[in-house]
Amino acid sequence: MTRIHFNKTFKNHKELVRLLQSRGLFIQNPSRAEHYIQSIGYYRFSAYLHPFLKNPKIQTRCLEGNTE
């Protein structure tokens, strides 16, 4: 069986919040966002962002004026 090597590195909850902020999501309370990412999970949470993403969705950039 061939192994697949992934290039993405592990990010903790703070780093994931910073990643969302760098993509244009305005987060008023980063510690609350960290709590939600910890309890819900980043990938489940990020699915809710799809309506707020710019097209094409591959860019993973949020539309201006979106908040947590």
pLDDT at 45: 85
Q: Is residue 38 part of a domain?
A: yes
- Decide if 30 is inside a domain: yes
pLDDT value for 30? 95
pTM of the complete model beyond 0.95 = no
Q: Which domain holds residue 52?
A: 13-59
Domain count, the chain: 1
34 in a domain, yes or no? yes
Give 24's contacts (C-beta < 8 A, 6+ positions apart).
61, 62, 63, 64, 66
Judge contact between 29 and 68, C-beta under 8 A: yes
What distance in Å separates the CA atoms of residue 33 and residue 46, rounded to the nearest whole number? Answer: 12
The answer to whether position 45 is within a domain reads yes
The per-residue pLDDT for 24 is 84
What pLDDT shows up at residue 11?
A: 93
Domain for residue 44, yes or no?
yes
Asked whether residue 51 is domain-assigned, the answer is: yes
pLDDT at 12: 95
SS3 state at 46: helix
**Residue 23 near residue 14, CB atoms below 8 Å:** no
Does a structural domain hold residue 33? yes
Q: What is the mean pLDDT of each run of 10 residues along the chain (68 residues)?
A: 84 94 89 94 84 65 61
